[in-house]
Amino acid sequence: MIYAAPVAGVSVATTAEAVAVGTGSSSPSAGVSLAVADCLVASNEEVAQEAAAQQEQVSENETPVVESEYADIAIAQVDNYVNVRTEPNTESEVVGKLYNNSAATILQTTEDGWYEITSGNVTGYVKCEYVVAGDEELAKSVSTRYAKVTTTTLYVRTEPSTDAAVLTMVPIEDDLVVTDESIPGWALVTTEEGDGYVSTDYVTLTTEYVQAESKAEEEARLAKEEAEREAAAAAAASARKKNSESSSSSSSSSDSSASYSAPTSSNGQAVASYACQFVGNPYVYGGSSLTNGTDCSGFVMSVYSAFGIGLPHSSSALRGCGYEVSLSSAQPGDIVCYSGHVGIYIGNGTIVHASTPSSGITYSSVTYRSPICVRRIF
């Protein structure tokens, strides 16, 4: 029984209300209660501080939730194009077109089923039902990841190591399609000789989407295409006349080497026919001779040069020449562009191209690799 009072005093002092009652008492048990209460308050403060510290540590160690980079990307899924309008209604002005598989960034969603988007130089509204938002797989499938070469000559290697064998070489400013970036410091790219690795120290990596076209851009594009068609036809006619005069003055030659016919007309079919004459001739990296050796872009450049048309000696630069047409609409003479490679379409699903050192100038199916785009000059 002698322990009953102290135990009772401690029990009372464990609540804030009991501490307040105890301050008015002069009994020894009340004093003990106050002392114990002070200890308990201090202890509670320490526990609270420790808990806060632990919570702060947990917060610091937590991995923040990062929104996917594709969360605000919308991809048009339509037969041809969807109109981009100034206001979220079908009565407002059309400011541009978002073509099928083109991409836009969503700025906001309206309550009545429209997205405000921006794409290229176009900002406006499209109906939600015509685009797919936040679909990473779809966005990746319609975009192209490029590695643009920033050194004079880039080695593409068979393995992600500078000790690995060289698969092929790529000149500065050319770009290759990237298919994998999972190995730090290296990118897996596709080339004419097959897939290989390039060091990311010597390339610039970018992702490209097809974007919307404004009304002004569409008008300018159509005018430019018509002007380029007319200029190409005029240049080809002039070159054909010049070549005809040259061949007639030197028609009797005792040279035992193969002879080649000059262009006979000014259209894509003439380009294809002229290009096919050189099948079997050698491939030479950096070359541009249709007879003694050329690489892929040199081949296209030299073939079109015979028609009086100047084109760049670069597979990536050729993607910007002429105007784009769909693969299904390809005609003879069109330039078919691949990752780090180009060829000339000759019809019936076939291209002629300066392929590799082992195969030289040869024929291939237009889909033997995945085309990036098709460009038309005539």
Q: What angle do CA 75, 80, 86 make, to 5 degrees?
A: 65
Residue 240 dihedral angles phi and psi, to the nearest 5°: -65, -40
- Could you tell me if 162 and 327 are in contact, meaning their C-beta atoms sit under 8 angstroms apart? no
Strand order in the sheet with 341-347: 323-325, 373-376, 335-338, 341-347, 350-356, 360-365
Beta strands 350-356; 341-347: pairing state:
antiparallel
Closest CA to 185 of 167, 168, 198, 204: 198
- Could you tell me if 203 and 149 are in contact, meaning their C-beta atoms sit under 8 angstroms apart? yes
Q: How far apart are the first and last CA of the chain?
A: 113
Residue 280, sorted as left (phi over 0), alpha (psi -120 to 50) or beta, turns out to be left
Closest CA to 288 of 280, 304, 274, 299: 299
Of 296, 313, 321, 337, catalytic: 296
Report which residue type is found at 54.
Q
Q: How far apart are CA 10 and CA 358, in angstroms?
A: 96
Q: How far apart are CA 219 and CA 213, in angstroms?
A: 10
Of 313, 321, 337, 341, catalytic: 341
- Could you tell me if 149 and 174 are in contact, meaning their C-beta atoms sit under 8 angstroms apart? yes
- Could you tell me if 362 and 317 are in contact, meaning their C-beta atoms sit under 8 angstroms apart? no
- Helix (H) / strand (E) element for 354: namely strand 350-356
Let me know if 313 is a catalytic residue.
no
Of 39, 313, 353, 373, catalytic: 353
- Where helices occur in the chain by DSSP H, the ranges are 4-12, 16-22, 28-61, 136-142, 215-249, 268-276, 296-305
- Could you tell me if 33 and 13 are in contact, meaning their C-beta atoms sit under 8 angstroms apart? yes
Let me know if 353 is a catalytic residue.
yes
- Could you tell me if 152 and 217 are in contact, meaning their C-beta atoms sit under 8 angstroms apart? no
User: Catalytic residue positions?
Assistant: 296, 341, 353
